């Protein structure tokens, strides 16, 4: 991205060192224009995350190291998983991946997973492991940050407004991954108001964190593992969308309608 000077300064061994409580010294607050889609909406393009330390060391309860960050309109593909462990429907396996073992009854939502496929988040791995085909597998996509309904009730949860869940230089743990990953668990352009006003809880929050979306009418743009870019309609069949988000599910479905 021709950001060699920033790359040379970046601390890859201790990423938390890239975040400070001053916008002038926080490398994570550097604005990178190519990371911002003109259709996306941010109340601020440099924002502060505050709060005390949580059980995740230097990360706050919102999952990020306190300090200043700059925004990003794009997110990596997290597969068909979620960020949270909710009730007995989620189990943690030895390698730390969360597996969904059933629908989330509290949200009256049954994920449209292909038959026989268990939902999980994708491990980050080389392109050679994309055995479904690089032209059939999403690598990254757009994330939309305007959600007035989310912003009105979320103070009871992470405390962040939607535009603040967008730090390209995120550093932290657990739900901090929401800044840089989305998944096919919710539909494209999902908004929290779709769940109704009674679902003011962490599960509803995380459903929104997971959602790909954009300010473009009718869908969002995605980059596939072969480097191509495609627009996917938000009316895409949920089973098709989930198959596009997995790299080794055995599907060859590349329909984006």
Cα–Cα distances in Å, from 184 out to 30, 208, 243?
A: 29, 11, 9
User: What is the 3 state secondary structure string of 99-139?
Assistant: EECCCEHHHCECCCCCCCCCEEECCCCCHHHCCCCHHHCEE
State mean pLDDT over 128-155: 83
Please check the confidence at residue 157 and state whether its pLDDT lies above 70.
Answer: no
From CA 40, how far away is CA 37, in angstroms rounded?
5
Dihedral of the alpha carbons of 82, 96, 242, 223, in degrees to the nearest 10: 90
- In this prediction, residue 159 has a pLDDT band, given cuts at 50, 70 and 90, of confident
From CA 249, how far away is CA 132, in angstroms rounded?
7
Please check the confidence at residue 233 and state whether its pLDDT lies above 50.
Answer: yes
Helix (H) or strand (E) holding 141: strand 138-142
- Residue 107: per-residue pLDDT: 40
Residue 132 contacts residue 245 (beta carbons within 8 Å): no
Please check the confidence at residue 228 and state whether its pLDDT lies above 90.
Answer: yes
In the chain, % of residues over pLDDT 90: 35
pLDDT per residue as tens digits for the range 178-222 = 888 898 888 899 887 776 655 556 667 777 888 999 999 999 999
pTM across the whole model: 0.79
């Amino acid at each position: 991205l021709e950001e060699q000077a920033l790359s040379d300064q970046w601390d890859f061994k201790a990423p938390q060192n890239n975040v400070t409580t001053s916008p002038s010294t926080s490398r994570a607050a550097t604005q990178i224009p190519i990371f911002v889609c003109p259709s996306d909406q941010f109340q601020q393009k440099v924002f502060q995350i505050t709060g005390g330390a949580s059980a995740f060391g230097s990360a706050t309860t919102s999952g990020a190291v306190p300090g200043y960050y700059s925004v990003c309109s794009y997110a990596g593909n997290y597969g068909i998983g979620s960020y949270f462990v909710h009730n007995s429907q989620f189990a943690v396996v030895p390698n730390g991946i969360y597996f969904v073992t059933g629908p989330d009854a509290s949200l009256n939502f049954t994920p449209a997973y292909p038959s026989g496929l268990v939902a999980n988040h994708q491990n980050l791995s080389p392109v050679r492991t994309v055995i479904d085909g690089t032209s059939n597998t999403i690598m990254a996509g757009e994330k939309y940050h305007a959600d007035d309904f989310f912003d009105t009730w979320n103070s009871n949860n992470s405390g962040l407004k939607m535009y603040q869940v967008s730090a390209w230089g995120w550093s932290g743990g657990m739900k901090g991954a929401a800044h840089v990953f989305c998944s096919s668990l919710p539909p494209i352009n999902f908004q929290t108001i779709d769940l109704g006003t009674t679902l003011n809880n962490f599960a509803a929050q995380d459903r929104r964190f997971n959602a790909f979306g954009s300010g473009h009418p009718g869908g969002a743009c995605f980059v596939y593992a072969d480097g191509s870019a495609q627009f996917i309609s938000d009316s895409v069949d949920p089973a098709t969308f989930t198959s596009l988000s997995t790299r080794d599910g055995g599907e060859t479905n590349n329909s984006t309608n």
